[in-house]
Structure 1
Amino acid sequence: MGKLTMQLAQFMTNECGWTLQVCDAGNLGWAGEIREQQMKFKAPHPLNLVAPLVMIELRQVGYIEINGTNSQDIFEKLGGFFKTKWQAYAKEADPNYCDLKFATDAFKSRGSEGENNMGQRTMELVDFMVKECQWTMVTCNGGNFGRTGAKREQQLIFRNDEFVQHGADHIMVELRTVGYIEINGLHDAGDTKEHLISFMVEQWGCKEYTKYFWESDEKYCDLKYTCPDDFYYRYDLANNLGKRTLELASFLGQHGWALMLCNGGSVTPDPRHRPNRILREQQVKFTKSPEKAAAPLLLVEFRTQPYHDEPARWHSYIEICGPDTNGVYDKLHHFITEYMDGQMCETPPNCDRLYQFDGFRMYPAKIGEEGRYEGLMNGESNIGQWTMRMCDYMVDQVAEWDLIVCNSDNLSQNFQHGSGDNKYFIGVTAREMQMVFRHRPGGRAVFMAAGQVKELGHPPLQPPPYWTEEGCIAGTLGQKLVPGSAEELAWMQEILDKTFKNKVTRDRKDGQPLADRFRAVQCIRSEQPALWNRFAERRREVAESCKATMGVFESFATPKTMEACEALSQRCTHASVGNPANQAYLLHGTNPTSAVAILSSSFTVNLAGKSAGTMFGAGVYLAESSTKADEYARDDMGGEYDGLYAVLVCRAILGRSYVTEKAGDFSDQVLSGEYHHVLGDREKAVGTFREFIFFHEASIYPEYAVFYRREKDGEILPPPDRERAPKMMEMETPEDEPEMTAV
């Protein structure tokens, strides 16, 4: 299952650009041997195309299995860690099941109630991957299998996105209805440890755990506390683990720890005689992130409660926990009662609002001759479908919430038949789905997959010789986004460095100090035949126009970008004819979301609003300075790659420049054909920047999207609180009105 999961994950992320958010495993059947894997992907992001994944599975039976991409020799690094830290040794891996396998005695358990050290081992691995190897933890889920559920598995997925700031701290809290709370990762918690202890003792009434005489001194966690008898609520399969999770998240949020992941599990100590005595577990992970920690959370849980086995029947419930932020309860009430046809019920102690809903469907799946012992209703269900409808409503319709947790759990409600020696139980599967949403005030655009780019239908005119996608060269494929090479990334850094200017204008409105360096962390190159064909035809047209005008070549304007990077400059010059259309590379600041959309569709010149707030006319504004482009760059606030900005590196056909230092609408000078763009020279007028304004969409081919961080004195500048980037770059407000000159 892990092998197939990673194949799908790599296709969805590295090929399609979608973001893997949650990967949650479940077990059903008599011994938990029927396995399910749920994967949730959210809106695509361009950097997923260049961020490989690796999955590590810790299995209490004594194995470690690894699947994924061996990026930056991570397999070798993991092998060294397992051998040194856990005294593991390599075993031959069946390639149909995993890429790498180790055996170890490092995973311990004791007693019959599910106590183990998997949480402790998990946090050791997280620290190694995140802090030493600089990978990002994407998801971490636990599961129980075996007849009693006492055998634990832990599945972790990490992403190699070296362009993200790493080294985040993590802690894990395990809530166990057997009566305990266990905590791991406290070496990262600082003074939060004492605050957490105070919270558990004073608010929850917990006491420090005292071990039994028969227990060894070996610690299975960093901290363990015993809960009061009434701390965990249980009624049939209902429980208050979700409510306790939000209470804990609210407290830790005050100390800068944000809820990252949580997942459930269960143990049945005596399945033959007391199959309905189920001990629940909730594993909750937090990461240090003060900005996210301050945001309110909301938990929505779907669950089924079987009440009959011949035939199998069940009730369906929706539970809600958390504060009523911005009237979200009324919005959910409308959605549940009107769209889902649910009915509001009297609220029990384990949640803040309860609804009954008759729409959850489950189906049987007979397995073998003794299928009844595996339990009823082990087949497909529509809870995943309803989960996505709820997510779509909260994220896209209410538009103030982000899904951060979505985990499932499978249990069994057992019904007795016969008596004495003929007594047996038949179980009916109960399914649960737990979603946690984090509030984000205001709207935030996310990168969405562009609509299918229509193919050109014939080879584009003179495609660049470095294009690699045969379909683009032939015109049979609409577009290919190609991860930039190390050499191309170095070129982008050259442009950012050599065109930097320590100058601030009125257009820098985010309140953040000017960075002293823009560090490129990744780039993507676009091969788009239709846009290139249009650009090449315009280039030929402008070259012929310039050739017909005597003496024009001597007066071509040369942007500073062409002097900054010789390799890119050479791409604009043909070996035999030179650069007759005065082609150049220029910059356009934006956010990662918009950058990739523009690679697909280019810019749009809206002449209907040509006087609406633009200094030199309603055209497309490009810059020769990275500092000027950065004034309009924004990050995708709160997104997967928070804190990364974007600049487009575009090919542009300059031709003949209409140079002016004076504000005004000069679009007619270009549209008449006498000139090919406007050069707004505010550098000469007031010492700021030059910008290049285009009024023909075909004059620009957006070729690279470059993602970068702002740095000052060697430190990364945190993203400021501010509005998203404007749709069009504009020059700063003029302080005077110098005369115009034309070249």
Structure 2
Amino acid sequence: MGCCASVSNAEDPTTPVRLDRARPVTNAFHNTVHKRLRKLNELDEITKVPFILIELTGEGDGEGEIEVTGKDEYGVYEALENFFVSTWGCEKLDPGDDSEDTKIPFCKGQYRWPGFSVQGDDGLNNLGKKTMEIIDFMCGHLSWTLAVVNGGNVGANRDVRETQLIFKAPHPMNLVAPHLMVELRSAGFVEVCADLDEEHGDILESLDEYFADRFQAERIEGHEDFCDRYYQAGDGAFKGIAGSLESNFGLLCTDVCDRITQWEGWSLVACNASNYGADGTYSEQQMIFRRDYHPLGDSKYVQVILNGLGNIEVNGKHIREIHSKLDGFLRRKWGCERAGQFHEGETMCRRYTWGNDLNMLLCTAEVVKFFELQGWEIQVASQQQVLEDGNWCQEQQLLFRPGRTEVGTIEPHVFFELYAGEGDPQYFEDEETTQVLGNQQLRIRCIGPGSDKGRVSPEIRSVMQEFQTFVEDYLGGEQTETDGEFESVYACNVFMCRGKFENNLAQWTMRLCDWMVDTLGWSFIVCSLCNMGEFGQNRLQQVIFRFDGDKRALPVSKSVNNAVQEYIDPEIFPSYWEYEEVLQQQVMQRVKACKAEEKEALQQLVDATFKRVLTRDRVPDDDAENDEEMPYRIEVVHAFRSEHARLQNLLCQVESDKEAPEESFSIKTSEVETLLSERLKQDESYLYHGTNPSSAMSILKTGFVLDHAGSATGTMYGAGVYLAECSSKSDEYGRDDGGNTYPSLLAMLICRSYVGNVHVVDSAGDHVPDARAGGFDCICGDREAKVGTYREFVFFDERQVYPEYAIIYRRQYDKMKVPDHMVVPTTGTTGRFWQMKAGDWKNVPPEVNKVLIQAMKDGDNEVAITLHGTEYIFNLHDKKGVNTRTGNKVPLRAPMVR
């Protein structure tokens, strides 16, 4: 990237990088901007995780606008155009493009939207309902993953409503996972929007009961145009006005999150806060939940609100002494003073004040760092502008949940703040003139391992350097401030607006996401928008990323040829296939969500072939409990079956060309009698392949490609497609999609495979040439016979492998939730854990292991860790752990694999 020529402003000296006031775009700067946009196209050559941002603006009853920006992957722009024009009755507009003879584009897709509705003066509108319609379309139909919903209210009376929805790479669970929106309005109303299948519909009746009890709410009919269920809260349910010490709005929002996540599988995905009314009297909060079986389960939320006037609010139940720890942090480190507290039930609201000038980006990073050290994780964030004591100020809302242990490590996080700057009021009524905004800037703040001690980790040092290059080369910006380690500030002139509300902040937010994820490999966590100024015209976007280590890139398909290229004898199609368009050869492939009986059969199959045998291929799992290295079971959450005419034809061709072996090779899956086993032909077996969900669905579409086989894990026995007969072996390679996308939901392909004549080997090496020369159809690497672990099968002709099922599963570490016969001890070892000798050698918990491994990397000899309420000092050099209270010592043993 450093070799590329920078995009400078040399050809337009009238528009410098550091603008102290806004000015109209000149012809020279118009050309400069288009050159920048064309140069950015070179970054599109790499795509690991595509993003798309949709912004809805409700300007008045019957008046609205939609903008779309982001990469056009999987045909999403065409699909959205059809949806907006055909379903919503929108008019497509011309947003411009990267050529100089068009206006400067602020997005890639733009529509005039007549479907926004508003009624009365208490804030009732249909933006929440329309938001959920887009979520249902993007997730339920196109399988994209909802990442963020944010926005706010703008206009003199804060009655122009904006919502940004960010979606990222498709994930198969989106086709079946329901979403639910709850909107609280302190004017005294609760709204629910959800389109749920029958199996998930019972949550609506439970919500009726909850709102009646907690909010004394009465359900009101006749609001179907605005939401699916509408409630009027009882007197006194909402207390105080927005920003007052008496307000219980934040507490109520936290309560709703805690209540909904008590129902199995539901978690908070996004939240969006704003105020309504000219004086900001009323608070509004949208909370979007998804049934994604989040690994944190029903753990409770703690909400922290940072206010630009020096007020802090903390809401939540008393979990792991977090309130007392946070109280100590705020009072001792930040010099805060308590300003009161109250309880409603088990939930507490505590207020603080502090006199320092608020550096919101720094304070946000410091709060996240504090919670990371306690073993808590940030879930969502939201910003807004609020009116307190006659002053408008920025407010940041953060929600956290506790992880598996109290031992925390500071994962590398990057916090960006994009301030779009201030416009010239004389052009706000002119929607044709483009003005480049004044005083715009970019800020970056980082935290990471050792940052609590002032250390800069390699990941942080790298991203700070790379961001400077990105700003200079692609944005034409320049650095104005830096501490040299954790924070830098840059001036730029990329942000522009037309009229009061049309701007390009979303466009550059997506460009930053693409660059951080695709070029640097970081995971997008959350972003939040704050509309500041007299009518919300000064916009600020905060974006947070986390480095999750070496994550597998998600497959991207710009186009998939689903047409049948040649005639296929329909007699070869299985009798259980259901898609007529495949059977009639109108399309090549369709994927179907499995029926209950198929899911049950798949669960029986993976149960019967699951062995608690460890190998060094199993990596530590953050979701593991205590010192467990391996789950007791893998649980099928959902499954999908592929009906693929071409792959079925290729498999049948192989089977007809091959000479049947004299004796069938015994495979464990073939010994399990289920609905599936009845579908197999002679010499076919079901075998497993561990992967991540998005890759699994991509492989269902294309089949295996030998050029890609083994690319993620190596090739122990030679190049080929690697499959296993034990689900526990393939689970070693199972991954989630990363970036907080359905965390801890992993994938496994179940492949109908022609095994034929098998070449058995028990040592590593390239055995493919010998197998081919000997007329064998595949290789069996038999480590089970040699060392008691597993057998793997290597196919060097991909036609022999038909990936038929993709299961989405989770690991179950709680032995109380699995059948009794599966509760057995593990054998073998991964060699990846530090161990303590307490009687026998036992692994330290996963989070402790991460701390110790990080200490080894940092060269630390001693580490202080609180474990189950007791403080230990671990001496890595002497290999001893000391209980600081009793003085008792325990021997330590370092991991064999580092």
TM range (shorter): 0.7 to 0.9
1:158 aligns with 2:158: no
Q: Which has the larger radius of gyration?
A: 1
Quick one: distance in 2 between partners of 1:140 and 1:34?
A: 19
- Checking the alignment, whether the CA contact within 8 Å between 1:107 and 1:118 is kept in structure 2 is no
One-letter amino acid of the counterpart of residue 410, structure 1: N
1:473 pairs with one of 564, 583, 608: 583
Q: Cα distance, 1:445 vs. partner?
A: 1.9
- Asked if 1:392 is matched to 2:525, the reply is no
Partner of 2:652: 536
8 A contact 1:520–1:707 mirrored in 2: yes
Q: In the alignment, what sits opposite 2:170?
A: 44
Residue 393 of structure 1 deviates from its aligned partner by 1.6
CA distance in 2, matches of 1:329, 1:285: 26
Q: Cα–Cα, structure 1 residues 448 and 147, in superposed 2: closer, same or farther, change >3 Å?
A: farther
Matched positions, count: 660
Alignment correspondent of 1:598:
699
Q: CA–CA distance in 2 between the matches of 1:221 and 1:201?
A: 21
Q: Deviations over 1:241-277 (max 9, x none)?
A: 232222222222221222222222223468xxx7xx3
Q: 1:394 Cα deviation (Å)?
A: 1.7
1:410 to 526, 531, 536: 531
Q: Which residue of 2 aligns with 1:454?
A: 561
Query: How far apart, CA to CA, are the structure 1 residues paired with 2:242 and 2:762?
Result: 81
How many Å apart are 1:63 and its aligned residue? Answer: 1.6
Change (3 A) 1:8 1:506: closer
Structure 2 residue matching 1:83: 3-state secondary structure: helix
Greater CA deviation, 144-153 or 7-16?
A: 7-16
1:627 to 698, 722, 728: 728
Do 2:242 and 2:280's aligned partners in 1 also have CA atoms closer than 8 Å?
no
Shift of the 40–459 alpha-carbon distance from structure 1 to 2, 3 Å rule, reads farther
2:443 corresponds in structure 1 to 319
Q: Secondary structure of 1:78's match? A: helix
Quick one: distance in 1 between partners of 2:536 and 2:730?
61
- Match of residue 369 from structure 1: none
1:127-166, aligned counterparts within 5 Å? 127-162=258-293, 164-166=295-297
Which secondary structure state, in structure 2, belongs to the residue aligned with residue 466 of structure 1? coil
**For residue 200 of structure 1, what is the aligned residue in structure 2?**
330
Once the 2 structures are TM-superposed, how far is the Cα of residue 671 of structure 1 from its aligned partner?
A: 4.6
Q: Secondary structure at the match of 1:310?
A: helix
Task: For 1:661 and 1:403, locate their aligned partners in 2 and report how far apart those are by CA, in whole Å.
Answer: 43
Q: Is the 8 A contact 2:525 2:739 kept in 1?
A: no
Summarize deviations over 1:452-502 as a string: whole Å, max 9, x none: 321224565432333333333333435433222222221111111222345
Cross-structure match for 1:246: 365
Q: How far is the alpha carbon of 1:129 from its aligned partner?
A: 0.8
Structure 1 counterpart of 2:600:
490
Contact 2:194 2:228 survives alignment (8 Å): yes
Maintained 8 Å contact 1:303/1:432: yes
CA displacement at 1:384 relative to structure 2: 0.3
Asked if the contact 1:621–1:691 (Cα under 8 Å) also holds between the matched residues in 2, the reply is: yes
Letter in 2 for 1:391: C
Counterpart contact for 1:93–1:99, Cα < 8 Å: no
Give the Å deviation of 1:124. 0.9
> Aligned-pair distance for 1:44?
2.8
How far apart are the structure 2 equivalents of 1:241 and 1:523?
Answer: 44
Kept in 2, the 8 Å contact 1:182–1:221? The answer is no
In structure 2, which of residues 169, 186, 193 is the aligned counterpart of residue 67 of structure 1? Answer: 193
Quote the offset at 1:534 in angstroms: 1.9
Match of 1:30 among 133, 142, 156: 156
Q: 1:702 aligns with which of 793, 803, 807?
A: 803
> 1:220 deviation in Å?
13
SS of structure 1 residue aligned to 2:503: coil
The match for 1:445 is 552
Give, as a single letter, the amino acid of the residue that structure 1 aligns with 2:794.
I
Please say which of residues 382-391 and 68-77 is displaced more in the overlay.
68-77
1:600 aligns to what SS in structure 2?
Answer: helix
Q: Aligned partners of 1:264, 1:609: CA distance in 2, in Å?
A: 44
Residue 83 of structure 1: how far off its partner (Å): 0.9
Q: 8 Å contact 1:140–1:157 — kept in the other structure?
A: yes
Q: CA deviation at 1:408?
A: 1.0
In the aligned structure 2, how far is the partner of 1:691 from the partner of 1:281? 55
Q: Find out whether 1:344 has 2:451 as its counterpart.
A: no
Partner SS for 1:32: coil
1:209–1:224 CA contact under 8 A, matched in 2: yes
Mapped pair 1:172 → 2:273: no
CA distance in 2, matches of 1:319, 1:145: 29
In structure 1, the residue corresponding to 2:533 is in which secondary structure? strand
Q: Distance in 1 between matches of 2:766 and 2:470?
A: 50
Aligned match for 1:382, one of 504, 514, 517: 504
1:732 aligned residue:
none
**Aligned letter for 1:53?**
H
Distance 1:668 1:167 in 2: 53
**Cα shift readout 1:125-155 (whole Å, capped 9, x = no counterpart):** 1111112444111012211111112211110
Q: For 2:678, which of 553, 566, 570 is the aligned residue?
A: 570
Pick the aligned partner of 2:742 from 610, 618, 641.
641
1:88 to 205, 210, 217: 217
CA contact (8 A) 2:269 2:380 kept: no
- Indicate the SS of the match to 1:561: helix
Q: How big is the shift at 1:701?
A: 0.2
Alpha-carbon spacing, 1:392–1:674, altered in 2? closer, same or farther (3 Å): closer
User: What is the distance in 2 between the residues matched to 1:268 and 1:629?
Assistant: 55
TM-score, normalisation: structure 1: 0.80
| Partner SS for 1:294 | coil
Please give the alpha-carbon distance, in whole angstroms, between the structure 2 residues aligned to 1:686 and 1:253: 40
Contact 2:420 2:496 in 1 (8 A): no
- Aligned residue type for 2:554: F
Q: Confirm whether residue 288 of structure 1 aligns to residue 402 of structure 2.
A: yes
Taking the aligned partners of 1:73 and 1:695, their CA distance within structure 2 comes to 49
Cα distance in 2 for partners of 1:344, 1:45 equals: 38
Tell me whether 160-169 or 244-253 shows the greater mean CA deviation. Answer: 160-169
1:294 positional shift: 1.9
Contact 1:114-1:150 within 8 A present in 2 as well: no
- Corresponding residue for 2:49? none
TM-score, length-scaled by structure 2: 0.67
How big is the shift at 1:86? 1.4
Name the residue aligned to 1:524.
640
Q: Relative to 1, partners in 2 of residues 1:98 and 1:17: Cα closer, same or farther, differing over 3 Å? A: same
Shift of 1:593: 4.5
* 1:308 and 2:424 are equivalent in the alignment: yes
Where structure 2 has 5 or more consecutive residues not aligned to the other structure, the ranges are 1-126, 429-434, 448-455, 622-627, 818-825, 827-844, 854-898
Secondary structure at 1:306's aligned position in 2?
Answer: coil
Q: Which whole-Å CA distance do the structure 2 matches of 1:87 and 1:647 have between them? A: 46
User: Any conservation in 1 of the 2:318–2:347 contact (CA below 8 Å)?
Assistant: no
Q: Which moved more, 1:504-513 or 1:135-144?
A: 504-513
Identity of aligned residues (%): 33
Rounded Cα–Cα distance in structure 2 between residues aligned with 1:600 and 1:398: 28
State which drifts further: 385-394 or 174-183: 174-183
In the alignment, residue 517 of structure 2 is paired with which amino acid? V
Q: Distance in 2 between matches of 1:609 and 1:714?
A: 33
Q: CA contact under 8 A between 1:113 and 1:279: conserved in structure 2?
A: no
Matched, 1:556 2:654: no
* Of 376, 387, 401, the match for 1:257: 376
Counterpart selection for 1:354 from 489, 499, 503: 489
For the 8 Å contact 2:144–2:169, the answer to whether it is kept is: yes
Task: Provide the rounded CA distance (Å) in 1 between the counterparts of 2:325 and 2:370.
Answer: 9
Other structure's SS at 1:443 match? coil
Take 1:306 and 1:507, find their aligned partners in 2: how far apart are those partners? 54
1:333 maps to a residue whose letter is: Q
User: Which residue matches 2:385?
Assistant: 266
Measured after TM superposition, the shift of residue 55 of structure 1 is: 0.8
Deviation at 1:96, TM superposition (A): 2.6
Structure 1 vs Structure 2 CA RMSD: 3.6
**One-letter code of the match for 1:382?**
N
For the residues of structure 2 that align with 1:221 and 1:689, how far apart are their CA atoms?
50
Q: In the aligned structure 2, how far is the partner of 1:509 from the partner of 1:69?
A: 39
